[in-house]
Amino acid sequence: MAGLVWAAFTLALLVAVNYVDAHGYRDKSLRKPIPLEKRYHNHAPVPLKRRHELPKAFSWCDLDGVNYCTANWNQHIPYYCGGCWVHGSLSMVQDRLKIKKKGKSPDVMLARQTLLNCAAFEGYGHGCDGGDTVDVFGYMTEFGLPDEGCMTYNATDHTKFPGKKHCPAHGYCLNCMPIDGVDTCWPIKRPIKYYLTSWGNLDAGEEAMMSEIHARGPITCGIACPDEFTYGYRGGIFIDKSNDTELDHDVEVVGWGEEDGVKYWIVRNSWGTYWGEMGFFRVERGVNAVQIESGDCWYAEPEWQTEQDVDNGKLHGSMYGLKDANDYDDDGRQPKLRTQVIKTGGQRAQEEERDVQVSRRMLH
């Protein structure tokens, strides 16, 4: 009897582990092949270099003593969220922003929560149930994305807005302050946004990956996640002996190196700094370990024009969002929200009040 109970417990544990181990798509039926026309936008590949033309070791996290890698993330807290497609892609984009800005402060940490809140409404991914790198790219190209000063990560998605056909404004960017003694939130409809100008799918293989990384910045790659990697990696160079071929996790490749004759990739994960080597891992290079060289690697080129417009004085900030350089009220403040709501009429006032109530709930 005890043996049967233990077997049942073990089976239940395995089922639970397999459920959360689907890092991208919890529901595998949601994953569809990416059509060719969605794999590229203004695609401009870099010239392919051979291994002997590239450095033996290279990393954007330590390029001549300068770190162009932004901070690490953890997609799994405060709740499990199958958002690796967001984290692996946005880590690459914001590192490339830092490279384009030549390390200029402040680092841009893109609003992954905004993407999880809004992208599915426009047909880009399935929130915490998974998505693809091209969903991130497509959404950023069409709608732009603010930084995390707009929307902090809480591992939820679009499903918290039932009945909506499009993302509500307070799901994109939000500010909150006590007004007349009441904690009040309102949408920021004109934040600093970052867009993508081009992106594409790299050819399979080590040299295509190295050429792109060396020329323009880190890349995002889909990998397989055998249990010995997910739960057993303790640092060092991971040697894949699993034969696992299912691509179900997205990561950022920032460079490469060689140790004791073993070539490796330097890769950022999104499982917190307590996992792996401060949130990174190294995996054997040149042998398609964990399918990292199988052809599911991507680049994207971001732009930061709105930030530059703030920098040069064309725009200025406020508690209510960006404004044109000469756009001030007499006292330098936005008209009060309450006055704005009264002027909109009954139906719209009710809608805005509902939005404020939802926004308040998002605080807790």
Alpha helices in the chain (DSSP H): 2-20, 84-100, 112-118, 133-143, 169-172, 206-216, 227-230, 305-311, 337-343, 346-362
- Which amino acid type is present at position 150? C
Number of H helices and E strands in the chain, helices first, is: 10, 13
Inter-helix orientation angle 84-100/133-143, to 10°: 50
Asked whether residue 13 carries a pLDDT value surpassing 60, the answer given is no
Nearest in space to 201 (alpha carbons), one of 135, 297, 293: 297
Average pLDDT of the residues in 340-364: 44
Instruction: With respect to residue 316, please indicate whether it lies within any of the assigned structural domains.
Output: no
What does the pLDDT look like over 250-292, one tens digit per residue? 999 999 999 999 999 999 999 999 999 999 999 999 999 999 9
- Which amino acid type is present at position 54? L
For the annotated catalytic residues, the residue numbers are: 84, 249, 269
What does the pLDDT look like over 125-161, one tens digit per residue? 999 999 999 999 999 999 999 999 999 999 999 999 9
Instruction: With respect to residue 354, please indicate whether it lies within any of the assigned structural domains.
Output: no
Structural domain total, the chain: 1
- Which amino acid type is present at position 66? V
> Is there a contact between 315 and 238 (Cβ–Cβ < 8 Å)?
no
Rounded-to-integer distance, Cα 238 and Cα 219, Å:
19
Instruction: With respect to residue 145, please indicate whether it lies within any of the assigned structural domains.
Output: yes
According to the model, what pLDDT value does residue 354 have?
54
Q: Are strands 237-238 and 280-284 parallel, antiparallel or unpaired?
A: parallel
What does the pLDDT look like over 311-333, one tens digit per residue? 999 999 999 999 999 886 544 45
Give buried/exposed letters for 287-309 (b at 16+ CB in 10 A, else e).
ebbbbbbbbbbbbbbbbbebbeb
Domain extent, residue 265, equals 2-307
According to the model, what pLDDT value does residue 156 have?
97
* Dihedral pair phi/psi, residue 331, rounded to 5°: -100, 10
Asked whether residue 21 carries a pLDDT value surpassing 60, the answer given is no
Average pLDDT of the residues in 168-178: 96
As a whole number, the mean pLDDT across the chain is 87
Instruction: With respect to residue 241, please indicate whether it lies within any of the assigned structural domains.
Output: yes
Instruction: With respect to residue 71, please indicate whether it lies within any of the assigned structural domains.
Output: yes
- Please tell me whether residue 308 adopts helix, strand or coil conformation: helix
Asked whether residue 25 carries a pLDDT value surpassing 80, the answer given is no
| Residue 222 CB contacts under 8 Å (≥ 6 apart), including other chains | 24, 133, 247, 248, 249, 250, 291, 294, 296, 297
> What pLDDT band is residue 14 in, cutting at 50, 70 and 90?
very low
Rounded-to-integer distance, Cα 327 and Cα 57, Å:
51
According to the model, what pLDDT value does residue 128 have?
97
Q: What is the CATH number of the domain that holds 78?
A: 3.90.70.10
* Dihedral pair phi/psi, residue 302, rounded to 5°: -90, 165
Rounded-to-integer distance, Cα 237 and Cα 263, Å:
9
Instruction: With respect to residue 43, please indicate whether it lies within any of the assigned structural domains.
Output: yes
Instruction: With respect to residue 324, please indicate whether it lies within any of the assigned structural domains.
Output: no
Instruction: With respect to residue 344, please indicate whether it lies within any of the assigned structural domains.
Output: no
**Pick the residue with more confidence: 3 or 121?**
121
According to the model, what pLDDT value does residue 352 have?
47
| Residue 273 CB contacts under 8 Å (≥ 6 apart), including other chains | 72, 74, 279
Tokens of 297: 């690697």
What does the pLDDT look like over 190-208, one tens digit per residue? 999 999 999 999 999 999 9
